[in-house]
Amino acid sequence: MAENVTTRCAPGAATRQQALGGTGQPQLGSMSTMFRGHFEHAIDAKGRTSLPSRFRDVLAAANDLRMVITPALFDPCLHAYPMKAWEELEAKIAALPQFDSNVVAFRRRYLSAAVECDLDKQGRILIPPSLREHASLTKDVLWAGMGQTIELWSKERWQAAQQMSEVELQSFKTAIAEQFRL
């Protein structure tokens, strides 16, 4: 399926080829572990979907193609982390109070549902049935780069999540302006 690119691969790069150092291969330092853009793909009946090639390039630049996928807590999508980012999150969570009820609930809902996924030779990831069900992944999916992580949505739910009323849009504009001091 065609990839719908919304942003450039690396700051200042006019093309993907330039972002890859003109060689077609990721160059150390040319792409950080930042995932940008959103890409539409299909998911097959077995739960396999292709990781967008730009996202694979980011993982390859870090020399680790492993990912951890877990259900989002507050949205009908999945969160995907490169292994290193997931391990950093686990370390932060391990430092939290062991018997705090919110920490326990977070660990049960987020950590225990996480699945380590490897890319196959075709660049696909197998999404387990429980995670597919959480995000309603059936046919068309959308990978959304979120900086250091990725979200995986059903295309329909992504489109619905993007809808805002005029009041919601104005509130969003105000909050963003305040947050970023624009």
Q: How many CA atoms lie within 13 A of 121 on its CB side?
A: 0
Residue owning tokens 């009820």: 101
Are 61 and 28 within 8 A, CB to CB? yes
51: DSSP letter: P
pLDDT in tens, the chain (182 residues): 444 433 233 333 333 333 333 434 333 333 457 999 999 999 999 999 999 999 999 999 989 999 999 999 999 999 999 999 999 999 999 999 999 999 999 999 999 999 999 899 999 999 999 999 999 999 999 999 999 999 999 999 999 999 999 999 999 999 999 888 87
Are 76 and 151 within 8 A, CB to CB? no
The alpha carbon of residue 122 and the mean position of all alpha carbons in its chain are separated, in whole angstroms, by 19
Structure tokens at 107: 């660990």
Let me know if 76 is exposed, middle or buried by CB neighbors in 10 A (0-12, 13-18, 19+): middle
Quote the CA–CA distance of 13 and 82 in Å, as a whole number.
23
